[in-house]
Amino acid sequence: MMLARVSLRNLLRHPWQSILSMVGIALGVAVVIAIDLTNDSARRAFKLSNEMVAGQATHHIIGGPAGLDETLYRDLRVEHGLRQLWPVVEGTVRLVAHDAERLSVIGIDPLAQTDNSAIYRATRDLSATELLSTDNAALLTDATARRLGLAIPGELKVRGAGGLHRLRVTAAGKPGSALEEQALRAVVLTDIATAQVVTGRLGRLTRIDLELAGPEAVARVRRLLPPEAELAGSASRGNALRQMTRAFEINLTALSLLALVVGMFLIYNTMTVSVLQRHAQIATLRTLGVGDRELFLAVGGEALALGVLGVLAGIALGISLSHQLLGLVAQTINDLYFRLDVQKVSISALSLAKGVALGIGATVLAALAPALEASRVPPQITYTRSGQESAARSSVGRLARWALAPSAAAAVLLALPGGNLYAGFAGLFFAIFGFALLAPALLLLIVRITHRGLSRALGLIGRMAGRGVTESLSRTRVTVAALAVAVSATVGVGIMITSFRATVEHWLVNYLRADLYVSASGGAGNVDPGVIRRVAALPEVASITTARWTKLDGAAGRTQLFVLDADAAAFANFQFKHGDAAGAWPRFKSGEAVIVSEPYAYHNRRGVGDTVVLRTDSGTREFAIAGVFYDYGSDRGVVALHRDTYQRHWADAAISSFAVYLDPGVDAERFAAALERDVLAGSGLTLRSNRQLRALSMDIFDRTFAVTQVLRVLTVVIAVIGIFSALMSIQLERGREFAVLRANGFTPRQLWALVTTETGLLGLAAGVLALPLGLFLALALIFIINQRSFGWTMQVWLTPEHFVLGLALAVGAGLLAGLYPALRLARTPPSFALRHE
């Protein structure tokens, strides 16, 4: 096919333009694939760890915060004859060595364990008596033992409830598959009794797994359960936990799609400029009898070729990038949601297929308009560039009117009641599209405004640069719109992160009022009440508040409880969105009411005056909501209740942390050093000053947004690459025009100044346009996307840095893109350029 050859050679004739567009799509696809693979790997790791012990269990029995009484297991097995059930104790400990790495402790009954579970498969070659015959016996996988440098048999020192524990690792098992190996990487397996000791759950079980056949069996077990226990389907726990990370995943996916949209704009830009530049050639082809459909396919084919190559490169890059992102995403899940050990990226064919489909789809979509443009080129023998430019100028008003439709769609989607997150993202993308249509009109306005200044500052070159932009509107409008969109994305995300960070920082200052905070290390650790009494007795201590963080799992999901033993003054540290401290305190203290965090109220559609239903040890109970408070510690939300209320309804006296308020004038640092030395030494408790705790919180915040920052930088890279390519090609196209200037006495230096002023002006225009769009994106992210994802209220925090950076980025990209053509054109003898045009 000769036409295909024409297309292919056209791509090869402009290798840098082709390669840069390809890189744009490759990076876009890489980001999408990397995020999908990372999310998928985290999901798989979660699923695997969830199934690890459950095996063939169809249901599980769960209790309150303190778990289940172990006698329930015995009763069900012995008294009621249930056979297919397996007790589990779960908790977390920290290794004494290896940077205090966290390990999950899973306690099982080796004699009852199902052979369908990964745990069993990993250890089935070992005798059940390995666990039962030795005190504090524990099993690891072979690989974990090697990783920890542990000889078998050997001793594993861990810090758990009550301090140091020595586990006797009697054997190491070999998991059945690499996935199981991964899931068991940070797991230590013990019998029930040992797990109860190291996690501080003496006489308690975390849950009982069961295999139940049919509704009758389910109903029978339900009848046998005490009020504090609940029977739930096995899938429900996983679903509830998965639900917690859903918004986080959606946000990452949307940001990765934003990178692809920027890549799409670049393909559109490249293809549009390429079609415009080949207008005369296309007209010749039309004259020779090439049909509109063939031209459409030829231009589409060119874009597709770039897209396919870009996608292939994007797959390789995406897989590589996912390895870098996995650590960041896993860290966030561990910081914010639940313990998850995920080390390896699972390369899923579905993720790759999604990336390929999105990459190709984006390319085809982006190439649609330029391909249509090519097919509509009339077969006129005489082609005039001025005609093309005049058509471009006359379309400015029409495009601005067309912008109304996507803008209206964006307004509707963003304002849609019900708060659908997907509709929010669709609204954002419509808004970007509408703005791109408006960009040519705004570009003309900016050039008109800057014209006089440029003319005064640079004389003839300034006037020519301004006119160069408007006289090449058919090309420059697309490039400026693409650059503006790309820069606005980084400005918008930047403002959103800064605002969020400032909001959290401000909240922490108000919320963390105590001088010192002491917490138990490890997830399972508790604070010894004796320690609290000793600290409270110290003369420098004005008051102490204790806190218990725990969760209630149920068929309907997980509820995070924050149990507070505080006085009215400490309670006043809560910042209320609805209700107030003075009004809520008496009801909170009396146990009549609880208060809920803003995300909890949002996700559960609850407010002041509504009730929260919680499963207590004596069955479900309704609590009135006395207030809704701001909280940025959990995106799923928490229910806060007074310690007295909690202990009335749940048999759990554990304390997770306590806060120390010192008398005025006491040197907090000196007191902390003494406290560490005299009271806390060897207790396994961690002491942090107010400043340290705030710094730690902000570290976690920054880690949470590390992935976002990576995506933001990648989006900028994609944009700069694409714009560089487009601006370069626009300038190189004007070789003859510049040769005429040189022939008429323009010096190479003047030419250099003209080209860079023009590309700089284009960059400036894009930068100026990017600022309002960036601000709009930021506001939409803050007030709509984050609200719909997490339910958080954020303060908008506008600092000049993002605007200055966005502007500098756009102008810098423009100037940089002008350098090469300016140098090349200035060095080319005018006679050569005139002869070869």
Partner 1 sequence: MADADPIIALSDVHKIYPDAQRERTVLRGINARFRSGEFVAILGRSGSGKSTLLNLLGGIDLPSRGDILFRGMNISTLDERRRTLFRREHIGFVFQFFNLIPTLTVFENLAFTLDLNGIDRARAQQRVAELLSQLGLSDRADAFPDRLSGGEQQRIAVARAVAHKPSLVLADEPTGNLDRDTEHQVLALLRAMPGRDYTTVIAATHSPEVASCADRILHLQDGALAEAAS
Q: Which residues would be at the binding site for partner 1 (CB under 8 A)? A: 1-3, 5-6, 9-10, 13, 280-281, 284-293, 378-382, 836
**Please, which residue, 9 or 605, has the CB nearer to partner 1?**
9
Shortest Å distance, C-beta 307 to partner 1:
20
Shortest Å distance, C-beta 282 to partner 1:
10
- The helix/strand/coil state of 381 is coil
Token pair for residue 417? Answer: 């009641």
Shortest Å distance, C-beta 310 to partner 1:
21
Shortest Å distance, C-beta 15 to partner 1:
13
Shortest Å distance, C-beta 397 to partner 1:
16
Cα-based distances in Å from 616 to 60, 228, 524, 647? 18, 6, 21, 10
Shortest Å distance, C-beta 371 to partner 1:
17
- The helix/strand/coil state of 246 is helix
DSSP letter at 76 equals I
**Please, which residue, 280 or 400, has the CB nearer to partner 1?**
280
**Please, which residue, 278 or 323, has the CB nearer to partner 1?**
278
- In whole angstroms, what separates CA 106 from the centre of its chain? 30
The radius of gyration of the chain from alpha carbons, rounded to an integer in Å, stands at 33
Token pair for residue 703? Answer: 């880690």
Amino acid, single-letter form, for residue 113 = Q
User: Which residue, chain included where needed, has tokens 């649609």?
Assistant: 368
Amino acid, single-letter form, for residue 68 = L
Token pair for residue 393? Answer: 């100028």
- The helix/strand/coil state of 175 is coil
Within 10 Å of residue 620's Cβ, how many Cβ atoms?
11
**Phi, psi dihedral angles at 688 (to 5 degrees):** -135, 140
Token pair for residue 192? Answer: 């029930």
Closest alpha carbon to 60 in 222, 216, 196:
222
The rounded distance, in Å, linking the Cα atoms of 262 and 711 is: 12
Contact 783, 428 (CB under 8 A): no
Shortest Å distance, C-beta 286 to partner 1:
7
Shortest Å distance, C-beta 5 to partner 1:
7
Contacts of 614 (CB under 8 A, 6+ apart): 552, 559, 561, 620, 621, 623, 639, 649
**Please, which residue, 5 or 83, has the CB nearer to partner 1?**
5
Closest alpha carbon to 672 in 682, 657, 660, 683:
660
Shortest Å distance, C-beta 441 to partner 1:
21
**Please, which residue, 384 or 618, has the CB nearer to partner 1?**
384
Contacts of 610 (CB under 8 A, 6+ apart): 624, 625
**Please, which residue, 283 or 421, has the CB nearer to partner 1?**
283
Contact 263, 25 (CB under 8 A): yes
Cα-based distances in Å from 128 to 112, 123, 210, 426? 10, 9, 20, 56
**Please, which residue, 382 or 681, has the CB nearer to partner 1?**
382
Shortest Å distance, C-beta 751 to partner 1:
23
Shortest Å distance, C-beta 1 to partner 1:
7
Contact 774, 491 (CB under 8 A): yes
**Please, which residue, 116 or 287, has the CB nearer to partner 1?**
287
**Please, which residue, 293 or 605, has the CB nearer to partner 1?**
293
User: Which residue, chain included where needed, has tokens 């300034």?
Assistant: 462
Shortest Å distance, C-beta 246 to partner 1:
50
Token pair for residue 734? Answer: 């004007």
Contact 618, 649 (CB under 8 A): yes
**Please, which residue, 81 or 289, has the CB nearer to partner 1?**
289
Contacts of 593 (CB under 8 A, 6+ apart): 584, 587, 623, 624, 625, 626
**Please, which residue, 467 or 836, has the CB nearer to partner 1?**
836
**Please, which residue, 9 or 83, has the CB nearer to partner 1?**
9
